[in-house]
Amino acid sequence: MKSLFFALALAAMSVSGCARVQKIVTKVPGATATILPTQGNDVHGSVRFQPHEDVVLVTGRITGLTPGAHGFHIHEKGNCASPDASSAGGHFNPSGAQHAGPYSENHHAGDLGNIIANTEGVAEFTLEVRGLSLGTDKDSIVGRSVIVHAHPDDLATQPSGGSGDRLACGLISRDP
């Protein structure tokens, strides 16, 4: 196949007198979530999910937080309609694992740990997460929601790490 490609390229060069090299870039589709506050809160932001080799890169910027750590999870339902985001259901957990930290061997697929807000209440973060996909498999997060919680996730308490109220919610949607 390579030799056929090179032969065609050489033929094109001899006909036109010059060669034009065109770089073909294939973009792997990602997903995004616009983070909107629950009732009585002012937390906003965006989160991007991008597949990269055997991980999903999760990057984001969330504002309106109190300084410090906040639990950050993917929840099972893509529904942020209720005032407290309870409509998003529990943590996304297709394998029925116990709650833990994102780098523990056994954990909910939706356990992303904590994001840390600075003194201005802004959390900017990049995480590498295994065990998620943006496809159609059982571990796909497309159509689910991402939640920012009021308190830190202790990475141990069942079923949600003791991270408290839901401050904001965003539907995870595949990029167009």
Catalytic one of 107, 144, 149, 153: 149
Task: Give residue 162's pLDDT.
Answer: 92
Residue with tokens 């297709």: 94
56, amino acid identity = V
Is 3's pLDDT higher than 80? no
The three-state secondary structure class of 25 is coil
Provide DSSP, 88-119.
Answer: G-SB--TT-PPP--TTSSS--TTEEEEEEE-T
Q: 164: domain range?
A: 26-174
In this structure, what CATH number is given to the domain that contains residue 34? Answer: 2.60.40.200
What's the predicted TM-score (pTM) here? 0.82
Task: Give residue 43's pLDDT.
Answer: 98
Catalytic one of 70, 73, 107, 144: 73
Burial (CB count <10 Å: 0-12, 13-18, 19+), residue 158: exposed
The structural domain count of the chain equals 1
Task: Give residue 5's pLDDT.
Answer: 38
Cα–Cα distance for residue pair 158/138, rounded to 1 Å:
22
Among this protein's residues, is 108 annotated catalytic? yes
Among this protein's residues, is 52 annotated catalytic? no
Among this protein's residues, is 111 annotated catalytic? yes
Does 6 map to a domain? no
Among this protein's residues, is 48 annotated catalytic? no
Among this protein's residues, is 144 annotated catalytic? no
Average pLDDT for 49-60: 94
Among this protein's residues, is 107 annotated catalytic? no
